[in-house]
Amino acid sequence: MKRHSAKRIIPGFGISLGLTTSFVSMIVLIPMLFLAVQSTDAGWSGFRQALSDPRILAGYEVSFLCSFAAAGVNCVFGLILAWVLTRYRFPGRRLIDGLIELPFALPTAVAGIALTALYSDKGWIGSAFAAMGIKIAYTRAGIIIAMTFITLPFIVRTIQPVLEQLDGAYEEAGRMLGASRGRIFRKIILPELTPAVLTGFGLAFARALGEYGSVVFIAGNMPFKTEIAPLLIMSKLEQFSYDESAAIALVMLVVSFTVMFGINCVQSGAASFSKG
């Protein structure tokens, strides 16, 4: 609608577009192209295997399902956490706020070992679940927990600023019209947060998919059950089958790109309401 005026008010539009494309090419596109070239270096056999070997297919399934679940869990808990941190004032709030980034700061292997120790049948948390007959470490539940831990900051940090900026008048308008707290949250606040939640989901999903260090320890890496695709890439590399590892990587890239692109489309649709 306002595309023309936007073009005029950005100074040096041509230069910035040029910079953007060359930057994206160098950092993102060229490595991907290289990957594509590499995977077909020795013919199409690597590819065929990446798309048909049942063990590799099971790896995709584990990776995508667990990443999806972890991003989903974080949408709920990250939203609650962001809500509590912005809406309430309580002792220790700043401390908790500061802890949010910790998963990023920790070397992922450290996180993986710590989580495994905690959630194994002998660990503090794992033993409580084991008493109820629930195994966490070395199952997909463990993978999801590791992925959730590592991607929590994405959701919290994308929602937090939006919540902080959200004009209190929207909620008050709902209250004046007699709406209950639940209805105000569902009908008024949630739609305002949806674009941020989607962004956070996309980031968390992509990060969980590529996460290796913290997951391999808690996963147990049983073929067909808890073996994630990044681990398969690593083991192919160790066997010097570069084409196969590149082929698996490419498949994952294409699928994640499709997911991210889909999220972006939904999101820009939602964002178009809020302009003006």
Partner 1 sequence: MYVELQNINKAFGDVHAARNVGFGIVRGVLAALLGPSGSGKTTILRMIAGLERPDSGDIFIDGARVNDVDPGRRGIGFVFQNYALFRYMTVFDNIAFGLIVQKEPAETVRSRVFELLALIGMEGMEKRYPAQLSGGQKQRVAFARALAPNPKLLLLDEPFAAIDAKVRKELRVWLRDMIHRLDVTGIFVTHDQEDAVETADEIIVTNNGRIEQKGSPQMLYKAPATPFVTSFIGNSAPLENYKRLKGFENGSGAATGVVRPEFVKIYPAVDGITYENSVEDAVVEDTAFRGTHWEVTLKIKNMTLPARYSLEKAPIAAGDRVKAFVYRLYAFDGDNVTLLENRNLDTHNGANRYSI
Q: Measured from the CB of residue 270, what is the shortest distance to partner 1 in angstroms?
A: 8
For partner 1, the closer CB: 98 or 178: 178
CB 203 within 8 A of CB 37: no
Does position 124 interact with partner 1 (CB under 8 A)? The reply is no
Binding mask 161-180 for partner 1 (x = CB under 8 A): ------x-xx-xxxxxxxxx
For partner 1, the closer CB: 89 or 131: 89
For partner 1, the closer CB: 55 or 175: 175
Residue among 106, 93, 219, 239 at smallest CA distance from 229: 219
Given candidates 192, 211, 227, 243, which one binds partner 1 under the rule CB under 8 A? 192
Q: Measured from the CB of residue 171, what is the shortest distance to partner 1 in angstroms?
A: 9
CA 17 to chain centre: 28
For partner 1, the closer CB: 161 or 191: 191
Does position 274 interact with partner 1 (CB under 8 A)? The reply is yes
Q: Could you tell me which stretch among 57-65, 111-119, 184-192, 251-259 binds partner 1 (CB under 8 A)?
A: 184-192
Q: Which residue blocks in the chain are alpha helix, DSSP H?
A: 3-9, 13-24, 30-39, 45-52, 54-87, 93-99, 102-105, 108-119, 124-131, 140-165, 168-176, 181-183, 190-210, 213-219, 229-238, 242-271
CB 153 within 8 A of CB 101: yes
Eight-state DSSP code of residue 133: T
Type of residue numbered 141: A
Cα–Cα distance measured from residue 158 to residue 155, given in angstroms and rounded to the nearest whole number: 5
For partner 1, the closer CB: 20 or 272: 272
Q: Could you tell me which stretch among 84-92, 99-107, 108-116, 187-195 binds partner 1 (CB under 8 A)?
A: 187-195
Given candidates 93, 122, 181, 183, which one binds partner 1 under the rule CB under 8 A? 183
Does position 2 interact with partner 1 (CB under 8 A)? The reply is no
Q: Could you tell me which stretch among 132-140, 183-191, 216-224, 261-269 binds partner 1 (CB under 8 A)?
A: 183-191
* 173-195 CB burial, b ≥16 within 10 A, e <16: ebeeeebeeeebeeebbeebbeb
Q: Measured from the CB of residue 189, what is the shortest distance to partner 1 in angstroms?
A: 10
Q: Could you tell me which stretch among 100-108, 121-129, 219-227, 266-274 binds partner 1 (CB under 8 A)?
A: 266-274
Type of residue numbered 177: L
Round the CA-based radius of gyration of the chain to a whole number and report it: 22
Count of residues that interact with partner 1, criterion CB under 8 A? 23
Q: Could you tell me which stretch among 45-53, 70-78, 79-87, 182-190 binds partner 1 (CB under 8 A)?
A: 182-190
Please report how the helices 30-39 and 242-271 are oriented relative to each other, as an axis angle in degrees rounded to 10: 140
Write out the residues near partner 1 by the rule CB under 8 A.
167, 169-170, 172-180, 183, 187-188, 191-192, 270, 272-276
